[in-house]
Amino acid sequence: MSFLWESSVVHRRDKIRNNSFEEKIAKIGRVSKVVKGGRRFSFASLVIIGNKNGYVGVGLGKANEVSKSREKAINSAKNNLFRICLTKAKTVPHEVSAKFCSTKVMIKPAKPGTGIIAGGAMRMIFECLGVRDVVAKIQSGSSNPHNVAKATISALMSLRSLKYYSKFHNIKINKNTTDDKIEEDDLSLVVDSNKMATSAH
């Protein structure tokens, strides 16, 4: 994967070299609808896909059968792919947080060997994305897989590389510091500038 300045949305016209996606089912729910003749049941599937190399997608599918709802969710996820900015060490460049509805999540970079410290839909997203070391948790709000998945994607989409902050925000970063070796002083500058950019919008 080529170097990324920032995370971005993958358009349908863009071709992905590796089309083999790993699929994980985050949730399968049964929905009942009361009609004149009685209850009518359908299924809703939440699926997460990724190529373990920076691409991830989340999709929701509804149908009268589980298999059909899963197929719809996979197609929806493929049409809503995101390319996430990661370091060469397969972790996130800096700490980031995001909120969707009442769910607020926090994601932190971790040292090699830490592993994926997260659970539920967040862990599935990191595994499909190809992240090796990360610390993430739900800070507040609902733990509904739909909200958690969307909040996690929102947080990952706000990731920027250190070179991005150095060039576009005029932040001086130590020459010996790379995206794989982030010093605490540099990380605090990145987090502060991220908050400033968010408040400006």
Cα–Cα distance, 111 to 177 (Å, whole number)? 15
Q: What is the CATH number of the domain that holds 169?
A: 3.30.230.10
pLDDT digits (tens, 9 = 90+) for 82-141: 888 888 888 888 889 998 988 999 999 988 898 999 988 999 999 999 999 999 999 988
In the chain, how many domains are there?
Answer: 2
Lowest mean pLDDT among 72-81, 113-122, 149-158, 188-197: 188-197
49 and 76, same domain (yes or no): yes
Amino acid, res. 156: L
Cα–Cα distance, 195 to 191 (Å, whole number)? 6
* 3 belongs to a structural domain: no
Helical ranges in the chain per DSSP H: 66-78, 120-129, 145-157, 162-168, 184-200
Q: How many CA atoms lie within 13 Å of 166's alpha carbon, on the beta-carbon side?
A: 13
pLDDT digits (tens, 9 = 90+) for 13-49: 455 545 688 899 999 998 888 888 888 889 999 999 9
Lowest mean pLDDT among 4-8, 37-41, 143-147, 175-179: 175-179
Section 3-12 average pLDDT: 59
Cα–Cα distance, 136 to 52 (Å, whole number)? 18
For residue 144, the 8-state DSSP code is -
Domain that holds residue 32: 17-83
Instruction: With beta carbons less than 8 A apart as the criterion, state whether 128 and 48 touch.
Output: yes
**Final residue before a domain boundary, out of 34, 59, 83:** 83
Amino acid, res. 85: C
101 and 195, same domain (yes or no): yes
What percent of the chain has pLDDT above 90?
37
* 91 belongs to a structural domain: no
Of residues 10 and 133, more confidence is placed in 133
pLDDT digits (tens, 9 = 90+) for 125-155: 999 999 999 999 999 888 899 999 999 999 9
